[in-house]
Amino acid sequence: MRFVPPARPDGLSAQAGQPSPRCVTVAILLGVAILGLALGATAMLIGLLLAATAWFFMAWLSVRQIGGHTGDVLGALEQIAEVVILLTAVAVSKAQP
């Protein structure tokens, strides 16, 4: 939402505005800290790398296909990131004896 423009200037996503850089930073730091505590450093890094890859792909795809983000794109991105993190947690837990 902060890094990709809204698809339509008159859409609901555009009316919601953009979060401030401070809010984005605090949210990222909190998320990374909680993820690190829950999964450990290695799994956290793997999950973040996979989630970031999914984010970059979705950002590129949404700009290419519809010109930016919509509420549906943001919701899909949240769901994809959640699934990636959960799959990482399962993979790491299965790998440990």
pLDDT digits (tens, 9 = 90+) for 48-57: 999 999 989 9
Report d(CA 89, CA 97) in Å as an integer.
14
Query: CB count, 10 Å around CB of 13?
Result: 21
- pLDDT tens for 56-93 read 998 899 999 988 888 888 888 889 999 999 999 898 88
Name the one residue in this structure whose structure tokens are 């919601």: 16
pLDDT of residue 1: 66
User: Phi first, then psi: what are they for 42, rounded to 5°?
Assistant: -65, -50
pLDDT of residue 68: 86
- pLDDT tens for 12-33 read 776 777 788 899 899 989 999 9
The helix-helix angle for 71-95 and 41-66 (nearest 10°) equals 150
19, 36, 96 from 79: Cα distances, Å: 19, 20, 26
Q: Is the pLDDT of residue 97 over 70?
A: no
